Each structure stands twice: as C-alpha cells, then as structure tokens.
Chains A and B, each alone.
Chain A
Amino acid sequence: MLRTILAGIKARTARLVLSSVAIALGVAFVTGTLVLGDAMSAGMREEFAKSARNVDFAVTMSGDAKGIGAEELAKIRRTPGVAGADPRGFVPVPLITSAGKAKPALAVPLGSTEKLREYDLSTGRYPASDNEVAVDVRTASTAKLTVGGPVTLLGKDEQKREFTLVGTYQQGVGEMSMSGADHLVLTPAAFQSFDPERLAYQAVGVAADGYTQQQVTDAVAKALEGTGLRVQTGEELTADTLRSISSQAAEFTAFLLAFAVIALVVAAMVIYNTFTILVAQRTRELALMRCVGASRKQVFRSVLAEAVVMGFAASVIGLFGGLGVSALLQQLIGGFVTGGASPSVQLPLTGTTVLAAFGVGVLVTVLAAVLPARRATRVPPVAALRSQPDSSEEVSRTGRLRVLLAVLLGVGGAGVIVLGLGLEEQAAMMVTGAGTMIVLAAVLVLGPLLVGPVNRALGVVPRALFGVPAKLASANAGRNPKRTAATTAALMIGVTIVAMVTVVANSAKETANAQIDERMPADYTVTSSVPSRLLPAELATQLAASPAVERVAPTAEVVGEGAYFVAVAQDSLGNLFRPKVESGSLADLKAGTIAVRSDYAKAEGLTVGSTKAVKTENGSGDLKVVAIVTGQRLGDGVVTLETAKALNPELAGYDSIMVKLKPGVADSRAAVEQVTDTSPLAVLDSAAETKEQLNKQLDQVLAFVWAMIGLAVVIALFGIANTLTLSVLERTRESALLRALGLTRGQLRLMLVVESVLMAVMGAAIGLVLGVGFGWVITTAVSTDAVAVVLTVPFGQIAAMLGAAVVAAVLAAALPARRAARTSVVAGMAEA
C-alpha cells in the first residue's frame, strides 16, 4: 500500500516537475529580457553620463543659430560666474591605417577644462602641442597604432599630415560613438586647422565657486540673448540625454519582449495541456472526492491550488534562470550594442522584474489551469465507480462550434491580410503580419480536426519502415485528437514563426543579391572610404589607362533643394549604367536634360517634355525631362556629368567609379588595386564581395531570431515529452498487455519514439506549411513597384528544421520510453 502511495507521489512529482520546467523557461525568458533592458539602460546611462558630467550649464545650437563660434564662446567665458567653458564639435578627419588606407574618423578638440572632458585617459597623455594626437582605445587597436608612433591624418585635398600618438582614451557612449565611428582628440588649434569654418554644436561650462547652476545658466542666457542659442542647466542636459537613451533601450526591450511573449504563449499551451491531462487522469480521484462530499467549489479550488503552487515554484526557478539568460544575451549582443567595446555583464534586478516574473508565471499557470479545473468540477461522482479512466468522451466533442470559430477567425485573418496588402511598407508588414497571426489562431482552433488526416498521412512512412510498433504508435497519436493537437500546437507556433522569418529573410537576401547584380553591372566599383571626400578625377583617367580595364564609368552626385541626382558619363549609359526606361529615351540624355525617376516624377508632376528647375549650392539651371526611369541607384533622377558640372561648377571628383575589365584578366583585383593603391581614399567593391558581406549580416540576424525562437521550440519539446510521459503513465496497463502479447522492450520503446516523432513532425509540418505561406504573404506585402521581393523558399533550411524536429522528438521520447520499457509486465498489469 505504502509502495503504491509512494509510487503515486513520485509519478506525480515527475509530472509536476516536467510542467514546471515549461513555465520556468517562459518566465526565465521574460525575466532575462527585462533584466537585459535594465542592464542596457543602466550601462548606457553610466556611459552617457560622461557627456553631461560636471556640466553646470550647456549652450546648444537650435533653430536659427547655426552653431557656436569663437565670438559666442568668448562671450560665454566672459560671463560672470563661469569658471570654464569648452566647445563641443567634431570634424571628419580620415586616418591612414598601417595598411595605408584611409579610415573615416571624427576629431574633437581637447577641452581646456579637464572636468568637462567626455573621455577618460587610458594610456599616455593628451596632446599638448599641435602635432600630437590621442586616439580612442578601440581605434588604436583596429588601426594598429601604438603610443609614441606616427599617425597620418588626411586633410583637405588628400593632404597627408603627420602627427605623433601620445595617448589613448576611453570615450563615453555619446552620439558619436554610438555611430561606431573612430575617434581622435587634437589640440583646439590643430582641430581648427582641419576645418576653420566649422562651428561647435554645443558649449558646456562649469560655474565658479559660489554660483549655483541656475544662477550661472541665467547669466549665460542673458549674455547670449538674441543669438537664438538654447541655454540649459547641467541637470536639464542630463535629463535630456537620459530620455533619449531610455527610449532606445525600451525599443530594444520591446523587440526582445516579442520573443518572450511567443515563448510564454507556447509555455501556456504546454501548461494548459498538462493540466488537462492531469485532470483527465485524476477523474477517479476527483470523483471519489465528490462521492465523499466535496463540493464543486472544493474540487475547483484543489486543482487551482496545485496550479498556484506550481506557478510560484516555477517562477522562482525561472527568475534565477532569467538572470542567466540575461547574462548570456548580454555576452551575445553586447558587442553590437556598445560598439565593440567588451561588455561588462550587469544583472540589475528591479522590483518590476520580480513582479513581472511572478505575475506572468503564476498568472499564466493559473489561467492555463482554469479550464481543466472547471472541467474537473463537471466530473460526476459516479465516475469513481467506473473501472477505467475513459478519455473517449473528451475525444468525441470536436463540434460545430469549433469549425465555426475557425472559419470566423480564418475569414477575419484573410480579411486583415488583404487589407494589409493594400497598404505600403511598414504598415503593410504590420497589418499583414497581424493577419497571419489570426490565421494561425484559426488553424490552432481547427487543430483537433486536423490531427486525424495529418496523422494518417504522416503515419504511412513509419508504418512501412517499422511495422506493428509504428502502427500502434500512429493509432496512439490519433486516439485523442484534442490532446495531440494541444501538444503539437506549441511546436507548431514556434516552427511557423521560424519558418516565416526564415522565408522572409531568405527572400530579402535573394532580392538584395539580385539588386546588387542590377546595381553593379561592373566587375568592380571604386568608392571613397570617407563619405564626405570625393574620389579624385585623375583616378578615373588612371583606371581607364590600365591595360586590364575595358571601360570605366564615374558617377557623381548633384544635391539640389530637397532632391539629389546622380550624374553619369554619357557613354556609360546602356552599358555600365542601365536604368529601366518607362517612357522617353535615354539617347536624348545630354547636357541640359534629365531622366527622372518615376516616383519622383509622379510626386513632382513631371512628364517627358516638361522642365525641371534645379538649384544647387553653387548654381542652377532648367533641365528638360527626356525620360522617366526606374531602378536602383538613380537618386531622384539621372543627369550627365556635363550637366552636373554646369549645375555645380565646384564639383570636383567622383562618388564612385565603375570598372569593367577586359575578358580573361588573370588576377583582376590586383590589376585594379595597382591603380587604386595610389589613392588612400579608394576602396574596391565587387558585386560578389558586397553580396557576401550583406548575406553575412542577414544570416547573423536570422541566427539571432533562430536562437530566440529556439527557446520557444525547446519549451514545445518539453511539452511533447510531458504529454508522452503522462500518456505512458496512463497506458501502463496497455503497455503491459502488449508486452504480454509479445511486444519486445525494444519494440515498445520504438513505439513511443515513433509516436513522439509523429507528434513533432505533425507540428513541424503544419508549422512549415503555414510559415512558408505567411512568408509569401509578407514578402508580397512589402514588395513595391520599385523593389519586387521574390519569394525564396530555403528548402535546405526547411529540411534542417524537419530533421531537427525528428531528432528532438527522439530525445523527448527517451525518458518516457525508458520508463515504459522498464516497467515489468506483472507490475503493469496490476496498475489500477
């Protein structure tokens, strides 16, 4: 007797532990996400504080004022109560690396007031004379610079200027470093020499002893009256900066929370399913309670109480697991957030996080248990007298209501999708995305009705391979459609989302690759490593002269008011530069004419034959529209280089030079590099290399999403293991009977493994079908006239997902199968 009781408790513990794991994983994910968000904003706060530290007042350009010049600065410094003030500004100063190539970098002037510097010295010292420089620690390491060694900076007109590196420093995460730019500090005079006209965007200062922040701020404001500059106290500046950080961190947290919600939904389904099975199995126990006088309320409460205890325990585990998840995520994404600096792992645990963990864990568990608990109250006392727990009643009611609801959801979802397809860009994606999720819900509702046919279809293969055990497995997988549907639903959700994201990402990748092909008909494209510096015109001549080169096509840019145009050599039209012509003809594109991009033409009301007035910084002209074109890299329109020169006489140099090589050149890259090496600015891109780089980035994003959804999938697999364990317990006698009739241990294990695989593949297969379909919907939604996103189904990755589902299912079946096979026949038969 004691043995039975102990066995019962043990079996029950196993069940409860299994279900708790699912909820704990969900809670861990939510906690991890919240902690990560807090850690990030705390980290950024600390870093950002550097830009506002010790500042008593700040003068910032705004509206009319173009910046802070020497005159304003002098006024500020003269103001009574100001102990010191420094300008903040930056100039792009390319830096020549040890490889001889230019690297974009931002130079800032060394502040005269030490307290106000936004950076902390790391090694050496700050520059004291005008030929000395200090660089950011990270820049020093990537450009391979050593303290005491020379540093070459690129001045105006590619003039090389030699400096000596005297120190390195750690910069705070300011607006500049967030962009990931390299960074260096010069003396104010040296800084000035790079761009004498550049104005500072901000000036900050400290108050003299005896002055409060407010007093000095008021005084400075008065001194600057009429300049239009904004003057605020240090505290206000700090608050301003922090506001911008918090919103950034919040955005990222929201992104991660989306994944956490998916994990939770999946966990909730697993919990719901577990409780449903537990209640079904406890039918007799509950009925007995009713027989001896327990009221419905008491039965309801007893089931719910179990859920509360379980949810609470699982939340505690999940909370601590979440700290681990957060640490892991910080390591994972730290680099890309802090711009490469090694992230220090922080685990701030706020009250909100703890509340969220318990709220979510307990609430989800209790909600998931409410329906089964209600069902428990319906158990009639006579059920206790039935010899065998009977789940057939539960099976039979897959009624009309379900179909009706599924149809309503399906039609609603389809409607939302159609609505979304009519919208543009971001909105189209959001609305169609929401539509697909409604359709997913419809399929979930329909689930129990799908189990039968899908199971029959999928069961064919294992039956052919493994015979009787597989036949029994297939029968078992289909015996309780509701349970099977609920079990596979969790996996289905995960796989649907993964498949959808994968299809969309791959489609995006293919489309981008196709665009690169279209955009880069040349073998190589030479561009400037520093966006603000143009390639010298001679470079095109030199390249054209190279024996390996067949032709070159330089391009330049003309910036007009509210529009920009691409200028190309006339003779490159139709070969290296070939936009699609909608109307008119490119043959007419010569001096004084323009080919306008179709959407710009629409917006401006331009047609072939009309005239477009273009005004640049240095000139203007009326251009006759000769063609309407579409395609990539056209700006708002295309003009010839002559036209560009006429519009902007100051234009010197090119944005890019496309290079087409003669056929059969052996080492093509070396041939081009021979020429481009003479210019420190020139970088070489080939279509193939650009694609590779882009694909790598997209693959990284995809890997991140896979990792995030991976957790939901793991929870779903726990669900399968859970259901299987419970089913094995429920079928102890059946297993024993089969063993008595001659099913070997191995066959019994095989039977459970096949059942597990069938359930997993069922979820994965439906998920894949939905995911690919949804992927198609979304790619269609984001396609525009200009960019048609081509649906690309990554069959390799899909096969990998199915394969992974099978492997995981085998693993999920391992424990329950072991347990079933170890039970002796006689003991199994004796089980009530």
Chain B
Amino acid sequence: MSALVSDVGTRTAVAAANLVKVYGKGDTAVRALDGVSVAFEAGKFTAIMGPSGSGKSTLMHCLAGLDNVDGGTVHIAGTEITSLGDKDLTKLRRDRIGFVFQAFNLLPTLSAEQNVLLGLELAGRKPDRAWFDTIVDVLGLRERLRHKPTELSGGQQQRVACARALVAKPDVVFADEPTGNLDSRSGAEVLDFLRMSVRKLGQTVIMVTHDPVAASYADRVVLLADGHLAGEIDNPTADSVLSALKHLGA
C-alpha cells in the first residue's frame, strides 16, 4: 500500500492506507473504519458516498486530521499526518485545508466578510484581494459581506462557508454534507460552485454526501459500506450512483 502512496505522491492530494477507527471498547466496540485504503487525486472533485452509518463522516474526520486514527496512515500533499501532534495538526488545518460543514459553519458574532477571512487571520496571512474579489463575485456575496450570519439565508450561509474554504487556496477542501440542510435550488448553487472551483480554479474537493444527485456533480464517487471501501464510479450520474447504492443494499 505504501508503494501506492509514494508512486502517485505528486498527483495525489490525500491518501489513506489501511485506515482503522474503532469507537468504544469490548462488546460495544464499533469498527467505523475497517482497513480503508483510498487515494484522492489533486485537482479533482471526489464524492464519498454510502448509506447512513457507513463511516463517511468518520473517514472525512480522519482524512482531515480532525480525529485521531486507531491504525493506518493518512498523507496530505505528501505529509504524513497521523503521527502529528495537536499543534501541528491545527497548523496543518489552518494552512492547507478548507472546510465546509453541513451546518453551523459560521461564527454568529462575525460578519460574512470576517467569517470568510477568519482562517487567513488565524494563520496570520494577508488575503489575496483579487482572489477574494473573484470568489465573492462568483458566489454572489458582494452585497452580503457586512451581514451577520443570522441575517443570511441557509444557502447564503453555505456559500460564505465555501468562500472561506477557498479563499486561502488550500491543498484540499473537505465538505461534509454541504447541501444537507438546503433546498434543492440553493444546494445546486453550492454544488455548481464547488465543481467550478475544481474545473476552473484547479481546486481539490472531497465531499461527503448521501444524496445521489449531489454525488453526480463529482468527477469520481468512492462508495463506502460498513467501514469498508465498496467500489468506485468515475464520471457518475445520479442514476449510476443510485443503482450502485442499491447494490450495496441501502
């Protein structure tokens, strides 16, 4: 497995090898991830799919250095992260990773603009103004920059979160059910933007979803079942994803 990682290291943004994550102890122990090996190409939009409880979120948390693993390794842009301490992980997250969560993405005390720039500020980096303007305009947030999150709709909030994830030009953006709380139109806007950021801006995006329509926006779908890798679909459509899921018995 380690051969796989080093071979494609230059083109691989994120790679996991033999990942194991166990919750609890003894009889009640749950193997949420049971030897998952998977690589994510740079400059691609990948969706992680699977039935509820299959370990999607757990996988994402482990890949992003949000949670520690019980076995295996994770590399992000060539850096082994499973052996890093909390401080280094924090630094890695703020310098090289962008996040979009399902809900509660924004700090209620900060304006939309402050929220977008928060990660950069934490890293002590100056924002690239031209890049910031591009993102804001593409997402149609120009008029909303001074607003507080409570004054924004759900879709707008998620777009602000997308802007925040991308403004620092991270090595990889992780999105966990980014459209889970949105109506289909707002969801489509967010997904369009994520796809556009990959196609036009060369971003790497890894998105967790259980929605076949959302997955169809991706370049590739990785299927997960019971903590195991259960197949892949390249250039997925909503139909192909749905039938693959049916095979998994979901």
Contact = CB atoms under 8 A, between A and B. Distances in A.
Interface of A: 387-388, 390, 392, 467-468, 471-472, 475-476, 478-479, 733-734, 737-745, 747, 824-826, 829
Contact of A733 (B93, B99, B104, B110): B104
Contacts of B118: 468, 741
A26 to B, nearest CB: 33
Contacts of A387: 103, 181
5 A-B pairs with the lowest CB-CB distances in the bound complex, closest first: A742-B94, A475-B109, A742-B122, A826-B67, A744-B90
Contact of B93 (A734, A740, A824): A740
Interface residues of B, number: 29
Interface in B86-129: 86-87, 90-91, 93-95, 99, 101, 103-105, 107-110, 118-119, 121-124
A740 B67 contact: no
Interface in B151-197: 164, 181
B243 interface: no
A479 B122 contact: no
Interface string B38-73: 000000000000000000000001001011000000
A392 B149 CA distance: 11
Given A743-B122, A744-B86, 7 more contacts: A475-B107, A478-B109, A734-B108, A737-B101, A742-B95, A743-B90, A826-B61
B134 interface: no
A737 B104 contact: yes
A468 B61 CA distance: 25
B150 interface: yes
Contacts of B124: 467
A739 B94 CA distance: 9
Nearest to A829: B101
Nearest to B161: A737
B151 to A, nearest CB: 10
A734 B104 contact: yes
Nearest to A477: B109
5 contacts: A387-B103, A737-B105, A741-B118, A741-B119, A745-B86
Contacts of A825: 61, 66-67
A188 B119 CA distance: 94
B119 A826 contact: no
A518 B147 CA distance: 66
Contacts of B119: 741-742
A479 B66 contact: no
A747 B20 CA distance: 30
Given A741-B94, A744-B90, A826-B67, A468 B122 contact: yes
Contacts of A390: 150
Nearest to A733: B104
A741 B122 contact: yes
A655 B119 CA distance: 81
Contacts of B123: 742
B110 A475 contact: yes
A824 B124 CA distance: 24
Given A475-B109, A741-B118, A392 B90 contact: no
B109 A476 contact: yes
B66 A734 contact: no
Nearest to A830: B57
Contacts of A738: 107, 122
B66 A740 contact: yes
A472 B67 contact: no
A554 to B, nearest CB: 76
